[in-house]
Amino acid sequence: MWLDHVESSDAPQARIACALSSPGNAKLLRRLLTGRYQLTEAFDERLQDDDHSRFDIVLVDPLSLEYLRDRLRRYRERCSPVVLPVLLLVTGSQTPASWIRQELGHTVDDVLRIPATEIELTARVENMLRLRSLSLLQSATGRERDNVVRALRTLNTCDEILVRAREEEGLLARICQAIVATEGYRLAWIGFALDGPDRQLAIQASAGPARGYLDGVRVHWRSGVLASALQSRQTQVVTDITEDPERMLSSVRAREFNLRSVIVLPLPLHGGTLGCLVIYSEHVGHFDREPQQLLERLARNLCFGLRALHVYQESKRQAAEIRTLAYADSLTELPNRLSFLNHLRDRVTRWQEAGIAGAVLFIDLDSFKVVNDALGHQAGDQVLRWVGQRLRRLVRGSDVVARHGGDEFVVALSDVSRGRVRESDSVATKQAFQIKVQRIAERILQHLREPIRLGEHEHRQGASIGISLFPDHGDDADTLLERADTAMYEAKNGACGHICQFHGEILERRQQRLTLEGRLYQAIKSDQLTLHYQPIFRLDTLEITGVEALVRWPQPDGSLLSPAAFLPLAEETGMIVPLGEWVVATAARQLCAWRAAGHSLQMMVNLSVRQLHAAGEISGLADLVRPHVDPSAIEFEVTESALMPDPSTTEANLAALHAWGFRFAIDDFGTGYSSLSRIKDLPFQTLKIDRSFVSGSEHSGKGEAITRSIIQLARNLSLRTVGEGIETEQQCHFLREWGCEYGQGYWFSRPLPADDMARLLAAKVGRSV
Ligand code: C2E
Ligand code: CA
Ligand code: CA
């Protein structure tokens, strides 16, 4: 029973637990304290309770202290660092001072001797209470400080994760784990708001012992604390979930998982995405001001980190795309030149380390331009892709195949058949590898020549291959590639068949070619070339009906360089176009002079493939000629092989030139593979039988039969025939017999300088047959 005591106060009354064995003392206390404090008598039973904050102070007398000592001590320990003050009430002389001293500071904090006055008692009780509230205050600040420290630690850990993050995947999970691990939170999760009327939240990551809370729950933000946070974009806190059940998705489940308070931090992410970070604590009121501020900072950093990550990943993606573009050839999907060089550098290092041999093959497609021009770029692309695939299949997977650019491919081969080369057998091994590489190159050529269907055409792709060997021809990637290229160049010039292995002389020759190229360029520019003219005569009357203009290049030493020595170079470098124009203009001017002198001649001018295919130059040819003679005075000689590659352009250009008035002869007939039906449709007036048939004509047999049928064919097509390279009277005779009308050759006259030719014409020298 408690005494009534009048003392009004708004503050909650302090709670005093009384454990007094003497009913008299209890009564006294009740009288003095009731009203001012809340008194509890059944104190000893409640000591079992886990709640450590049920009482503010305890009053005991020696007897009950003896009885309660252990429990009281445990209880006080559990309260620590909050002090639960114990005041011992002793009656007069009843208790020995030594006993009291023993208890003081251990089980009790103060002693009051009764009887005592009310003032005395309340003063003591108030002191005890002050001690209690001071300790409470201190512990609260300590807890708060701990919370802040932990939140800071979380922030730092998360920042570190964010700074190191390179991928979004896994990052959010690590953040959740860090939050839970450093703070000891029950649960942390991150969700992204999904579009749609049902406002779902897709959980991206979660961590914590209460993760099961989310199992089977459809998380939405239509109502409750999640909705408030995401709509207002402001942090929301539920201090005590039990008190605020309607703000939770499921307060029942929250209780089940011991979730007592929650904080929801909205995350405005990149691209308008809205997310939230949600953290649950097992303590009521955990997310007070300071942890909240720190967690908000964490959320801000997380947003920033994710945005930065997004930018980083985007730029990484772009960089990868650029790299792919920079290192791969999009047409063939092979590595490109740059990538090949990188690969080759790695290979060379490996070859060096492993002491094995290696090789670089430089493959250049023959007449690829012609395919491109004749059949269109799509066909060209098809060939390049096909070649790429072929090459890839012809070498081992570990070898590198790349497109060097245009119609050039490169291959790096390693000699993996043998291990490290011992000094003693290195020569034999090298030779064996050299032979193997040569065979691979041959196999490549052979496979490339297999027919490819390009629309209605069947194409056989030729190629030239240059080879350089490691370590003989170079010990670094750049040199090896350059030397394989140089060797390819030689192969292209027919210096060593279609496959050429690098050797020292090549460099020398290449140097000479470079010099020659420069000199030829100068020669064309400064009008140093000259034309010789070889007469074409009637086989029956030996009357000169025309001349063939043949270019010569006078050298400083007085010698003349024949076309074979410089025309291939001019063809290759494109110098043939200005050279050809010069020939046409000079020949036309010369013809004009001879015609003025009364010689009715036809001028035969050789036209190269390149000139014939350069459609832009076609009308230019007429412009070059017309100031001097009518185009019909000029007959262009075109070889069979020049007709082959690009039939439609060739036909169009021939037709255009023919429309200007030019005439055409088919040169070196019999050496190519022209289809007769095709020639029939082209504007040819003359057929020149190749020298090889003429020189064999004396010896009857196969050559004779062919020559006869060529002449017959020309007749059928109403073409006049010129036998080329007549060196003997007998050849002249045969040809005439077989029906050939015209001839040209050393027997009649070698090609002559213009002056000599003029003299020949003037003399009208004829030879009797
Ligand atoms: P081509 O058009 O077949 O010219 C005939 C070649 O045969 C000339 O060689 C000529 O000197 C040679 N020849 C003539 N009669 C005989 C003979 O009885 N016996 C032998 N063994 N050879 C004879 P050339 O002048 O060295 O010209 C070689 C080739 O160079 C020409 O062959 C022609 O395809 C080309 N060529 C020459 N001048 C030009 C030119 O101005 N433009 C172009 N595009 N090509 C030219
Ligand atoms: Ca000719
Ligand atoms: Ca010829």
CATH, residue 213 = 3.30.450.40
Domains held by the chain: number: 4
Residue 584 CA: distances (Å) to CA of 46, 520, 531, 605: 124, 18, 10, 7
Residue nearest to atom 3 of ligand 1 (CA): 668
Q: Which residues surround ligand 3, an ion (CB under 5 A)?
A: 667-668, 724
Contact 604, 641 (CB under 8 A): no
Residue 43 in this model has a pLDDT that exceeds 70: no
CATH, residue 416 = 3.30.70.270
Is residue 135 one of the residues assigned to a domain? no
Q: How far is the CA of 426 from the centre of ligand 1 (A)?
A: 50
Q: Please give the mean pLDDT across all residues of the chain.
A: 85
Q: What string of DSSP letters covers 624-673? A: HHTTTS-GGGEEEEEEHHHHSS-HHHHHHHHHHHHHHT-EEEEEEETSS-
CA–CA dist 246, 433 (Å, integer): 83
Residues 6+ apart with CB under 8 A from 479: 468, 473
pTM: 0.51
Residue 307 and residue 160 share a domain: yes
**CA-550 nearest atom, ligand 1:** 38
Q: How far is the CA of 606 from the centre of ligand 3 (A)?
A: 9
Domain end call among 282, 317, 352:
317
Contact 71, 129 (CB under 8 A): no
Is residue 570 one of the residues assigned to a domain? yes
Residue 264 and residue 347 share a domain: no
Q: How far is the CA of 745 from the centre of ligand 1 (A)?
A: 10
Residue 676 and residue 571 share a domain: yes
Q: How far is the CA of 604 from the centre of ligand 3 (A)?
A: 11
CATH, residue 561 = 3.20.20.450
Residue nearest to atom 7 of ligand 1 (CA): 725
Q: What pLDDT band is residue 446 in, cutting at 50, 70 and 90? A: very high
**CA-639 nearest atom, ligand 1:** 34
CATH, residue 118 = 3.40.50.2300
Residue 6 in this model has a pLDDT that exceeds 70: no
Is residue 323 one of the residues assigned to a domain? no
- Please give the residue that has the higher pLDDT: either 544 or 321: 544
pLDDT on residue 93:
65
Domain end call among 63, 97, 129:
129
Best residue among 530, 562, 606, 640 to mutate for probing ligand 1, ranked by most atoms within 8 Å of CB: 606
Is residue 245 one of the residues assigned to a domain? yes
Residue 486 and residue 348 share a domain: yes
Residue 404 in this model has a pLDDT that exceeds 60: yes
Residue 715 and residue 577 share a domain: yes
Q: How far is the CA of 752 from the centre of ligand 1 (A)?
A: 12
Residue nearest to atom 11 of ligand 1 (CA): 751
Domain end call among 262, 284, 317:
317
Is residue 234 one of the residues assigned to a domain? yes
Is residue 529 one of the residues assigned to a domain? no
Task: Give the number of whichever ligand sits closest to the CA of residue 570.
Answer: 1
Q: Give the binding-site residues of ligand 1, using a 6 Å CB cut-off.
A: 534, 549-551, 562-564, 567, 580, 583, 606-608, 637, 667-668, 691, 725-727, 744-746, 751
Name the least confident of 196-205, 414-423, 427-436, 493-502. 414-423
What does the pLDDT average to over 304-308? 79
Residue 178 and residue 77 share a domain: no
Residue nearest to atom 15 of ligand 1 (CA): 745
Residue 454 and residue 375 share a domain: yes
Contact 411, 361 (CB under 8 A): yes
Is residue 5 one of the residues assigned to a domain? no
| Beta-bridge mates of residue 551 | 531
Is residue 175 one of the residues assigned to a domain? yes
What does the pLDDT average to over 101-105? 80
Residue nearest to atom 17 of ligand 1 (CA): 725
Longest dimension (CA), the chain: 174
Residue 402 in this model has a pLDDT that exceeds 50: yes
Residue 626 and residue 548 share a domain: yes
Best residue among 550, 637, 671 to mutate for probing ligand 1, ranked by most atoms within 8 Å of CB: 550
**CA-611 nearest atom, ligand 1:** 44
CA–CA dist 391, 389 (Å, integer): 5
Rg (CA), the chain: 53
Name the least confident of 22-36, 400-414, 735-749. 22-36
- Please give the residue that has the higher pLDDT: either 148 or 364: 364
Domain that holds residue 554: 534-762
What does the pLDDT average to over 330-346? 92
Tokens of 647: 């039939």
Q: How far is the CA of 580 from the centre of ligand 2 (A)?
A: 13
Residue 52 and residue 124 share a domain: yes
Which of 222, 220, 256 lies closest to 241 in space, CA to CA?
A: 256
Residue 573 CA: distances (Å) to CA of 9, 44, 514, 550: 110, 112, 11, 20
Single-letter residue type at 748: F
Task: Give the number of whichever ligand sits closest to the CA of residue 536.
Answer: 1
Residue 558 and residue 422 share a domain: no
The DSSP symbol for 213 reads: G
Residue 87 and residue 204 share a domain: no
Task: Give the number of whichever ligand sits closest to the CA of residue 671.
Answer: 3
Cα four-point dihedral sign 510, 514, 516, 520: positive
**CA-563 nearest atom, ligand 1:** 30
Q: Which pLDDT tens digit goes with each residue over 458-472?
A: 888 999 999 999 999
Q: Which pLDDT tens digit goes with each residue over 189-208?
A: 999 888 788 888 989 899 99
Residue 753 and residue 615 share a domain: yes
